[in-house]
């Protein structure tokens, strides 16, 4: 017997009722009496000394109340703030600006427009310094030292390595075939349609600070604010209201948030700061920016053996990566992917440049896309070199289903997988063999058609506390259930939805666990005064971690409920079983009590000696990460005249274990695929030699529209996670991780007969057109 | 922190203001606005209609799309004074008599939204499309919404939502799409 809105049902989303009416409450919708507006003066230079700042004219602008500079903050010891990576970041600079569009001063005014007028009137005298833009040049002797404040007088931040270097190098030498490839994975930004912002309010009478904020991790932010500001943590309330997309970009603490809080404390009035789109693109956390050199060794019949990867990671002027793992390069060592490498070695060097800091996720958990892209590209390069069909080469090498739990060469324990089943399904759906025949036929006529595969392995659900923490806070998450006397439920979580549909998905998990319709379960998140402590939503961790907490909390409710039901039915608790979402006397189906009946009794007729009420809280620290996977196949046609890549079909077979709401999961995959297409074909943040950003607005930074985005085709296999209470693995990011390689593999496949081995992303029509000209194929 | 050396609000030299009379969601408004006030700020901050969102500063994203005399317009790129004497429809005006507009229903039924931020603008564009073309093809829908960016859905379900709405608006007698 199913419960309404239980696990596996495509019920419609609860949150949609407000969103389709325009009744969501996003941060910019928060308006308080007497509220002021803060706007930011930004640097036109990538690297410059600040000679002076003159606020006089700005202060004469009607409506302007105050101008905040780095010197003001220095006096309060707030000009720098710590990053999650044991580095430090400027709130406002005192001496030097380190990237174009860096915050230089803040103007506080009565209105949005007056604040902008004030920004225009602040005078700053700069002395430009040589900018360090290329991370490889940053490491050369004689390069300007960007961070003289550090003990180590070098632009090299850290070196990190994992695996067995000697054994890998030895095995590579022994391999009959070695393919080597340099790949640059360019800097991109998540550009959620809602930019970042906050409203800060100080209640002077109560000494309480409330901040409405675009954050994916409200509790962690509260703790960080308390540690940095000295305000006691119980006097800080962080509210993350409706969030218009996060994708990792709303994990970091940006200077604007801190400035709004400072302004609220100083003026005694609420202060709103909302960045505009250009500020969002130019100054907020970036993703990727990895310069990778990879070598893969195999036998001549295509058995994959060894992998060696060297990477330079451009971190901008500080390492402010929102990376809660103990590994400086995040989970990059998932790079052995779906294959049983005998030996592997990965090293990454972090480097400072005159660019904004970050290193955030862009819808993947900490460098997983970089890893999946690299391995899936290399496997294709090997296939082309050996003349083996890329699908056959993958099948030949996959970690077999019987090998799980599988210990990877770089130290991960994959929970479960069935890689060949996913690939076979994708091949069947798309009609792989027929496409290969069509391609051969087309080639005879000079038409350019390519087929690309990506059989990726993801790593999500951060995370086990042995490997993950934020400033020491372990990466558990939480669920608190309160069942009211009438059997209706209020449940609160430590995560924060940014569009994923938590209010619906969590209600479904609880409906299943409590035997109560999801219609009768209200889910709340994002208010640190009410929700249980949690580490937030990113890294596809909500279902793997908080979803597990929900299942565990429901279990606790059932434990108490059984005692109450036994009392009502006048039987021993052991005589009862939880069956068909009810407490039933074993073997006597008609003698049963529903959770609603038990809830009423919990407040009106509970056993003597038992505490009243029916509530439970669970904090879940996962024993391992989860490893979703999938196989994607992309078919492209290339216009020889323009170099335009047209995605004819794209089939995505995903396996995220147990699915809570198939409709929502499919929606997550559609969105993820589109954010995989984006960097593959369109998006890149580029800088010129002076560190000027080339295209810092939506005029030049191209998000996919409905016209470029193909009609995604999705399917699934289901291999539950053995260690998750529900078998769920998380899905929000898989498609973003898996898609780029499928697209690039398809484009290169279309051009491989011309001798093309690799094209760096984004594959623009211009790049393809140039290749076609060079190869004489246009 | 440097603070302005004069009383706060009140005795400022005020920018000249203009009178704007317009109709929003069928309701007349008569307001004084600063000449440079963008229509989107007027709607959101003066009228409190916060369903219309702001997602960029270059007229690319379409989160602020409203209907101006029935045509979809990005309200971040016209001034409130330019709307004088005209009729505006926003997301708040879609529901009538407690009944959702078919486009709103379509977005719910087909999971055409996730974070909800682009949704109001996306729906207003869809309403304008369907009022002009009751039976749009998929490429027509995709072209129509190409000035509205969505970062969450990948557009597949938005297209379905618009098709769903078109079907509803044509009514059961009109039958399925050819």
Contact B94, B24 (CB under 8 A): no
Where is the domain boundary, B35, B69, B93? Answer: B93
Candidate list A237, A363, A367, A541, residue with the active-site label: A363
Model pLDDT for residues B78-121, shown as the tens digit of each residue? 999 999 999 999 999 999 999 999 999 999 999 999 999 999 99
The beta-carbon neighbor of A706 closest among B14, B49, B142 is B142
Q: Is B41 helix (H, G, I), strand (E, B) or coil?
A: helix
Model pLDDT for residues A148-159, shown as the tens digit of each residue? 999 999 999 999
Candidate list A364, A479, A634, A656, residue with the active-site label: A364
Domain presence at residue B3: no
Distance from CA of B46 to the nearest CA of A (A): 11
Domain presence at residue B39: yes
Where is the domain boundary, B59, B75, B93? Answer: B93
Model pLDDT for residues A33-47, shown as the tens digit of each residue? 999 999 999 999 999
Model pLDDT for residues A379-395, shown as the tens digit of each residue? 999 999 999 999 999 99
The beta-carbon neighbor of A19 closest among B12, B36, B116 is B116
Model pLDDT for residues B29-87, shown as the tens digit of each residue? 999 999 999 999 999 999 999 999 999 999 999 999 999 999 999 999 999 999 999 99
Question: CATH no. for residue B69?
Answer: 3.10.20.30
Confidence of residue B151 (pLDDT cuts 50, 70, 90): very high
Tell which B residues from 93 to 132 touch A, by Cβ distance under 8 Å. 94-95, 100, 104, 107-109, 111, 113-120, 123
Question: What average pLDDT does the structure give for chain A?
Answer: 97
At A457 the pLDDT is 98
Question: What is the pTM for the complete model shown?
Answer: 0.97
pLDDT at residue A447 tops 60: yes
Query: What is the mean pLDDT of the segment spanning A185-197?
Result: 98
Instruction: Sort strands A477-483 and B27-34 into parallel, antiparallel or unpaired.
Output: unpaired
At B173 the pLDDT is 61
Instruction: Tell me whether residue A367 is one of the annotated catalytic residues.
Output: no
Confidence of residue B178 (pLDDT cuts 50, 70, 90): very low
Distance from CA of A655 to the nearest CA of B (A): 19
The backbone region for A428, taken as left when phi is positive above 0, alpha when psi lies in -120 to 50, beta otherwise, is: alpha
Residues B109 and B126 in one domain: yes
At B9 the pLDDT is 47
The DSSP code for A355 is: S
Residues forming a β-bridge with A263 = none
Distance of alpha carbon A545 from the chain centroid: 15
Residues B114 and B88 in one domain: no
At A778 the pLDDT is 76
Q: What is the C-alpha to C-alpha distance for residues B125 and B144, in angstroms, rounded to an integer?
A: 7
Where is the domain boundary, B93, B114, B148? Answer: B93
At A228 the pLDDT is 85
Domain presence at residue B85: yes
Chain B residues with CB under 8 Å of A672 CB are: 154
Model pLDDT for residues A635-659, shown as the tens digit of each residue? 999 999 999 999 999 999 999 999 9
The beta-carbon neighbor of A712 closest among B91, B151, B154 is B154
Which helix (H) or strand (E) segment holds residue A490: the answer is: strand A489-493
> For A772, phi and psi rounded to 5 degrees?
-65, -35
At A82 the pLDDT is 92
Q: Which of A9, A166, A38 lies closest to A109 in space, CA to CA?
A: A38
- CATH code of the domain occupying A31-129+194-244+250-283: 3.90.1170.50
Instruction: Tell me whether residue A394 is one of the annotated catalytic residues.
Output: no
Q: Is A107 helix (H, G, I), strand (E, B) or coil?
A: strand
Domain presence at residue B161: yes
ipTM of the complex: 0.97
At A361 the pLDDT is 82
Q: CATH fold of A372-460+625-774, please?
A: Aldehyde Oxidoreductase; domain 4 (3.30.365)
- Contact check, Cβ <8 Å, B55/A66: no
Q: Is A753 helix (H, G, I), strand (E, B) or coil?
A: helix
Q: What is the C-alpha to C-alpha distance for residues A391 and B81, in angstroms, rounded to an integer?
A: 61
The DSSP code for A402 is: G
Confidence of residue B2 (pLDDT cuts 50, 70, 90): confident
Query: What is the mean pLDDT of the segment spanning A53-66?
Result: 98
Model pLDDT for residues A265-279, shown as the tens digit of each residue? 999 999 999 999 999
A&B contacts, CB < 8 Å: 208
Tell which B residues from 39 to 68 touch A, by Cβ distance under 8 Å. 41, 44-45, 49-58, 60-61, 63
Q: CATH fold of A16-20+476-620, please?
A: Aldehyde Oxidoreductase; domain 4 (3.30.365)
Distance from CA of B118 to the nearest CA of A (A): 7
Domain presence at residue B60: yes
Residues B117 and B166 in one domain: yes
Question: Based on C-alpha coordinates, what's the Rg of chain B?
Answer: 19
Chain A residues with CB under 8 Å of B64 CB are: none
The beta-carbon neighbor of B34 closest among A60, A113, A499 is A113
The pair of structure tokens assigned to A134 is 């290329």
| Number of domains within chain B | 2
Q: Scanning every residue of chain B, which has its alpha carbon at the shortest distance from the alpha carbon of A704?
A: B149
Question: Tokens 């990726």 correspond to what residue?
Answer: A456
pLDDT at residue A584 tops 90: yes
pLDDT at residue A662 tops 80: yes
Question: Residue B115: which domain range?
Answer: 102-174
Listed by start position, the domains of chain A span 16-20+476-620, 31-129+194-244+250-283, 372-460+625-774
Residues B73 and B26 in one domain: yes
Contact A328, A83 (CB under 8 A): no
Contact A551, A513 (CB under 8 A): yes
* Sequence-separated contacts (24+) of A430-439 with Cβ below 8 Å: A430/A633, A430/A635, A430/A649, A430/A651, A430/A713, A432/A391, A432/A633, A435/A635, A436/A389, A439/A749
Which helix (H) or strand (E) segment holds residue A126: the answer is: strand A123-128
Question: CATH no. for residue B151?
Answer: 1.10.150.120
Q: Scanning every residue of chain B, which has its alpha carbon at the shortest distance from the alpha carbon of A69?
A: B1
Instruction: Tell me whether residue A216 is one of the annotated catalytic residues.
Output: yes
Interface probe, candidates A29, A40, A193, A266, chain B, greatest B C-beta count within 10 A: A193
Model pLDDT for residues A301-325, shown as the tens digit of each residue? 999 999 999 999 999 999 999 999 9
Residues B85 and B115 in one domain: no
Q: What is the C-alpha to C-alpha distance for residues A535 and A623, in angstroms, rounded to an integer?
A: 16
Domain presence at residue B9: no
Distance from CA of B153 to the nearest CA of A (A): 4
pLDDT at residue B176 tops 70: no
At B129 the pLDDT is 98
Model pLDDT for residues A602-626, shown as the tens digit of each residue? 999 999 999 999 999 999 999 999 9
Domain presence at residue B168: yes
CB atoms within 10 A of CB A121: 19
Instruction: Sort strands A576-579 and A448-457 into parallel, antiparallel or unpaired.
Output: unpaired
Residues B80 and B110 in one domain: no
Question: Tokens 């039987």 correspond to what residue?
Answer: A571
* Residue A310, burial from CB neighbour count under 10 angstroms (0-12, 13-18, 19+): middle
Model pLDDT for residues A546-569, shown as the tens digit of each residue? 999 999 999 999 999 999 999 999
Model pLDDT for residues A207-266, shown as the tens digit of each residue? 999 999 999 999 999 999 998 889 999 999 999 999 999 999 999 999 999 999 999 999
Confidence of residue A769 (pLDDT cuts 50, 70, 90): very high
Domain presence at residue B6: no
Chain A residues with CB under 8 Å of B157 CB are: 667, 670
At B6 the pLDDT is 55
The beta-carbon neighbor of A65 closest among B3, B116, B159 is B3
Percent share of chain A, pLDDT over 70: 100
The pair of structure tokens assigned to A375 is 């391995």
Percent share of chain A, pLDDT over 90: 96
Q: Scanning every residue of chain B, which has its alpha carbon at the shortest distance from the alpha carbon of A29?
A: B50
CB atoms within 10 A of CB B23: 15
User: Omega into A762 within 30° of 0, i.e. cis?
Assistant: yes
Q: What is the C-alpha to C-alpha distance for residues A738 and A716, in angstroms, rounded to an integer?
A: 14
Sheet containing A588-593, strands listed edge to edge, beginning at the edge strand earlier in sequence: A576-579, A582-585, A588-593
Domains A31-129+194-244+250-283 and A372-460+625-774 share a fold: no
Question: Based on C-alpha coordinates, what's the Rg of chain A?
Answer: 27
Candidate list A9, A102, A216, A439, residue with the active-site label: A216
Distance from CA of B109 to the nearest CA of A (A): 7
The pair of structure tokens assigned to B62 is 């379409």
Instruction: Tell me whether residue A364 is one of the annotated catalytic residues.
Output: yes
Residues B70 and B106 in one domain: no
């Amino acid at each position: 017997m199913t419960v309404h809105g239980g696990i596996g049902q495509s019920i419609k989303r609860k949150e949609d009722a407000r969103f389709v009416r325009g009744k969501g409450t996003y941060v910019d919708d928060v308006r308080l009496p007497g509220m002021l507006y803060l706007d930011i003066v930004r640097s036109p230079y990538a690297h410059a000394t600040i000679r002076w700042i003159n606020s006089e004219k700005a202060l004469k602008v009607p409506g302007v109340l105050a101008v905040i500079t780095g010197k003001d903050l220095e006096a309060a010891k707030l000009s720098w703030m710590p990053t999650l990576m044991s580095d430090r970041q400027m709130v406002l600079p005192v001496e030097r600006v380190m990237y174009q569009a860096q915050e230089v001063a803040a103007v506080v005014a009565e209105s949005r427009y007056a604040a902008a007028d004030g920004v225009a009137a602040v005078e700053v005298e700069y002395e430009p310094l040589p900018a360090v833009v290329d991370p490889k040049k940053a490491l050369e002797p004689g390069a300007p030292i960007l961070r003289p404040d550090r003990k180590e007088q070098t632009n090299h931040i850290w070196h990190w390595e994992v695996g067995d270097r000697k054994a890998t190098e030895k095995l590579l030498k022994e391999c009959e075939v070695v393919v080597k490839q340099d790949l640059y994975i360019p800097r991109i930004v998540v550009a959620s349609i809602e930019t970042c912002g906050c409203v800060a309010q100080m209640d002077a009478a109560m000494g309480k600070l409330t901040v409405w904020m675009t954050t994916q991790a409200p509790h962690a932010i509260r703790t960080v604010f308390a540690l940095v500001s000295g305000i006691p943590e119980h006097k800080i309330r962080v509210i993350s209201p409706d969030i218009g997309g996060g994708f990792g970009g709303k994990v970091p603490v940006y200077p604007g948030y801190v400035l709004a809080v400072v302004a609220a404390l100083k003026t005694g009035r609420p202060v709103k700061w909302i960045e505009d789109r250009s500020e969002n693109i130019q100054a907020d956390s970036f993703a990727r920016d990895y310069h990778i050199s990879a070598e893969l060794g195999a036998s001549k019949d295509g058995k994959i053996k060894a992998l060696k990867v060297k990477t330079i990671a451009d971190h901008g002027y500080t390492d402010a990566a929102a990376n809660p793992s103990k590994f400086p390069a995040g989970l990059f060592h998932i790079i052995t992917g779906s294959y049983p490498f005998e030996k592997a070695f990965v090293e990454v060097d972090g480097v400072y440049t005159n660019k904004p800091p970050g290193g955030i996720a862009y819808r993947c958990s900490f460098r997983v896309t970089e890893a999946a892209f690299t391995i899936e590209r290399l496997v294709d390069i090997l296939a082309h070199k050996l003349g083996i069909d890329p699908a056959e080469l993958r099948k030949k090498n996959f970690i077999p289903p019987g090998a799980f739990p599988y210990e990877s060469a770089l130290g991960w324990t994959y929970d479960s997988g069935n890689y060949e089943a996913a690939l076979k399904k994708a091949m069947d759906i798309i009609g792989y063999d027929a496409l290969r025949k069509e391609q051969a036929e087309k080639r005879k006529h000079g038409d350019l058609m390519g087929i690309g595969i990506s059989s990726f392995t993801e790593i999500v659900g951060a995370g086990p506390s042995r490997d993950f923490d934020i400033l020491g806070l372990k990466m558990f998450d939480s669920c608190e259930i309160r069942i009211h006397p009438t059997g209706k439920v209020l449940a609160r979580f430590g995560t924060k939805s940014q569009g994923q549909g938590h209010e619906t998905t969590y209600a479904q998990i609880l409906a299943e666990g409590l035997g109560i319709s999801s219609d009768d379960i209200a889910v709340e998140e994002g208010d640190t005064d009410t929700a249980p402590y949690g580490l937030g939503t990113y890294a596809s961790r909500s279902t793997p971690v908080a979803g597990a907490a929900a299942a565990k909390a429901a279990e606790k409710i059932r434990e108490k409920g059984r005692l109450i039901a036994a009392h009502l039915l006048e039987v021993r608790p052991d005589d009862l079983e939880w069956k068909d979402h009810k407490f039933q006397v074993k073997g006597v189906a008609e003698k049963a009590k529903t959770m609603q009946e038990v809830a009423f009794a919990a407040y009106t007729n509970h056993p003597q000696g038992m505490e009243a009420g029916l509530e439970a809280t669970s904090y879940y620290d996962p024993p391992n990460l989860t490893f979703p996977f999938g196989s994607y196949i992309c078919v492209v046609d290339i216009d020889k005249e323009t170099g335009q890549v047209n995605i004819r079909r794209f089939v995505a077979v995903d396996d995220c274990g147990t699915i809570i709401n198939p409709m929502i999961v499919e929606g997550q995959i559609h969105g993820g695929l589109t954010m995989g297409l984006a960097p593959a074909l369109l998006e890149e943040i580029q800088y010129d030699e002076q560190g000027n950003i080339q295209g810092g607005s939506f005029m030049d930074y191209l998000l996919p529209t409905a016209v470029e985005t193909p009609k995604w085709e999705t399917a699934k296999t289901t291999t539950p996670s053995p260690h998750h209470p529900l078998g769920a693995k998380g899905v929000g990011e898989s498609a973003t991780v898996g898609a780029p390689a499928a697209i690039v593999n398809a484009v290169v496949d279309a051009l491989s007969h011309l001798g093309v081995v690799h094209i760096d992303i984004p594959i623009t029509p211009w790049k393809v057109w140039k290749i076609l000209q060079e190869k004489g194929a246009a | 922190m440097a603070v302005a050396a004069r009383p706060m609000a009140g005795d400022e030299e005020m920018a000249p203001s203009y009178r704007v009379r317009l109709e929003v969601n069928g309701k007349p408004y008569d307001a004084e606005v600063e000449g440079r006030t963008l229509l989107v700020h007027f709607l959101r901050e003066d009228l409190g209609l916060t369903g219309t969102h702001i997602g960029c500063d270059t007229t690319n994203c379409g989160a602020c799309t409203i209907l101006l005399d029935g045509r979809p317009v990005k309200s971040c790129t016209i001034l409130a004074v330019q709307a004088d004497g005209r009729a505006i429809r926003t997301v708040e005006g879609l529901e009538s008599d407690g009944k959702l507009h078919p486009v709103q229903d379509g977005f719910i039924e087909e999971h055409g939204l996730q974070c909800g931020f682009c949704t109001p603008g996306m729906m207003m564009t869809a309403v304008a499309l369907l009022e002009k073309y009751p039976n749009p093809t998929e490429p027509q829908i995709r072209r129509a919404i190409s000035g509205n960016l969505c970062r969450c859905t990948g557009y597949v379900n938005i297209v379905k939502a618009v098709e769903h709405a078109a079907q509803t608006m044509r009514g059961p007698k009109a039958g399925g799409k050819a």
